[in-house]
Copies of this chain bind each other. A is one copy, B any other.
């Protein structure tokens, strides 16, 4: 926005010179112009997204695979950002220094919310203007740390609040809603290890290494970094973004367990990184006097982390279950519009409740999404299922592409970038190392206890899938007051852009090079399709493939199928059969006629699919990049290359 304020000023000069008497008219014109500039900004992003959509179509149509849609959005953003930067003049905001009225009766030690500014009062305005002596309201924006550098336009560009409150929730909810829960729970141990332990470990390693690197750098920068700063950098650069890699995975039908591990890890590590960075900031606040390590504060930070994470999880899960109960015991399903609205409102309420309670809304909305998919989805009418799936798919698509476009644009337009080559190089090195430390040692440990171990080529692919994305960028742009934070933002932006464009583009080749089996999961997925038949349910009920399933998943499965499912959905067996006789009256109350009347083998149970959601997006045309062509003989030949349907250009 800043960039256009230059135009505003030019415009205002014209107005002022034309009609010097009309301060009111000039102000009105300024307001109108600001509105138009806001609209223009939105329009630029809308057009960029339209362009991205059209190019994605061309790429899909022409079967281009060396560049993925997120990489495309970033590149378009970079181009437009450069045009805006070098095509327009400098960004100036008019400002003035002010002092409080000596007669004020103000008795707080914090600055006031508003300033009533008398203008022009004690200054001589040049020119022949006859300016009325008026009073204007000014609202609090923030502290100016470095008065010489005129950092006044600091926060006008991007409001992280919008990102965290509007853009992020649908993306995260969609991730939870689409989670292929069957494979997620099968690989729960590995996923939790990578996401929880791995992310914390990666943050610690990156933080420590960066602190070492920073000490070797020129004194000016080194002095501005504390260990907590570099640790914060470690926390924000650790979460991975799966979009690009997973889109390719699902096109090429890569092994479902690998898919589940990468998806599950990246969904959870976003949440982990958010809570972790919050805990680091809390630690910073408590002991801001010096950068020294204090054991009690450290323990408090760990307590923060665990407490906030688990409470957020509970809030989200409860809201999901509440929605399930509402949809089970009312007949709101007769009006799909009302039902969908209820679903959306309850899910957003989960996010808001967590935020109001100073928990992490993103974690809440993630687990709310998982519960909604697992329970509520079964109670919804067919129309609402379709509607909610499609709605969140679309929101997710638009929000994701907006973020990547924005990352590209902001690389040029954000006024507070700080390009420090050493810090950037160090950032790239340590973030790669951090990913390695996350994957290889933990895989080794996991393989000690894991029945089908994680093979080496899977480990390499897990390492390679460590693209950085939206969450890293959002955490970096949240605070850019100090030079250290600005250097972090610049480095993070560059890492995100490089990994998304280069690593994302090379993912297909990496799959082929590592001989990861593709084109499979067909058979396994067929039983997970919507309305899969009963055979599968009975298999499932009898506890199939005990060797594969983790014990944790088994225990959870028992509670789920005997207590939660019958309670929250219309699924069989009803509570009256699963609960002990003592609870019979209560159980009878919580069982619907529908649960009694339906047979075991029909109707509702079969719709409890954990994968009729979005993972298998409708893909009439898989990408044509057949790894076989790239690396003949290396890949599994089962890869499916289907023809184009309905295309006749």
Q: Measuring CB to CB, which residues of chain A are less than 8 angstroms from any residue of chain B?
A: 5, 12-13, 16, 20, 23-28, 30, 32, 35-36, 38-40, 42-43, 46-47, 49-50, 53-54, 56-57, 60-61, 93-104, 106-123, 125-127, 129, 131, 134-144, 147, 152-154, 156, 161, 165, 285, 288, 326, 330-338, 340-342, 344-346, 348-349, 352-353, 355-356, 358, 361, 383, 386-387, 390-391, 393-394, 397-398, 593-594, 617-621, 644-649
Contact = CB atoms under 8 A, between A and B. Distances in A.
A517 B352 CA distance: 47
A142 B357 CA distance: 33
A187 B61 CA distance: 44
Closest 10 CB pairs of A and B: A138-B138, A109-B129, A97-B101, A39-B355, A43-B352, A95-B114, A94-B112, A137-B141, A107-B126, A96-B112
A122 B99 CA distance: 7
Given A352-B39, A383-B618, A123 B140 contact: no
Contact of A101 (B13, B20, B96): B96
Contacts of A12: 108, 110
Contacts of A100: 96-98, 117-123
Nearest to A102: B122
Nearest to A597: B648
A25 B282 CA distance: 11
A648 B594 CA distance: 9
A116 B23 contact: no
Nearest to A648: B593
Contacts of A108: 12-13, 16, 94, 125
Nearest to A27: B110
A97 B118 contact: yes
Nearest to A105: B123
A106 B131 contact: no
A602 B127 CA distance: 74
B138 A134 contact: no
A94 B114 contact: yes
Nearest to A20: B109
B98 A116 contact: yes
19 contacts: A16-B110, A25-B285, A39-B165, A39-B352, A53-B338, A94-B112, A94-B113, A98-B118, A99-B121, A107-B127, A115-B115, A116-B144, A136-B143, A137-B141, A138-B138, A334-B620, A334-B644, A334-B646, A344-B394
Pick from A60, A110, A394 the residue with the most CB of B within 10 Å.
Answer: A110
A135 B100 CA distance: 12
A106 B125 contact: yes
Given A35-B161, A100-B118, 16 more contacts: A26-B109, A27-B111, A32-B358, A94-B113, A95-B115, A96-B100, A96-B116, A98-B99, A99-B117, A99-B118, A104-B123, A114-B153, A116-B152, A136-B143, A387-B394, A593-B648
A49 B347 CA distance: 13
B349 A46 contact: yes
A331 B46 contact: no
A36 B355 contact: yes
B109 A131 contact: yes
A341 B165 contact: no
Given A394-B337, A593-B648, A125 B107 contact: yes
A114 B93 contact: yes
A543 to B, nearest CB: 34
Given A94-B108, A99-B99, A110-B27, A152 B137 contact: yes
A351 to B, nearest CB: 8
A326 B13 CA distance: 42
A584 B322 CA distance: 63
B394 A341 contact: yes
A355 B468 CA distance: 36
A73 to B, nearest CB: 12
A121 B116 CA distance: 16
Contacts of A60: 334-335, 338
A114 B144 CA distance: 12
A223 B331 CA distance: 57
A579 B297 CA distance: 80
A401 to B, nearest CB: 8
A125 B27 CA distance: 34
Pick from A139, A326, A386 the residue with the most CB of B within 10 Å.
Answer: A139
Nearest to A381: B646
A621 B647 CA distance: 42
B109 A125 contact: yes
A113 B99 contact: no
Contacts of A341: 49, 53, 394, 397-398
A106 B116 CA distance: 18
A644 B332 CA distance: 12
A136 B129 contact: no
Contacts of A116: 95-98, 144, 147, 152
A120 B116 CA distance: 15
Contact of A617 (B46, B334, B337, B397): B337
A538 B316 CA distance: 56
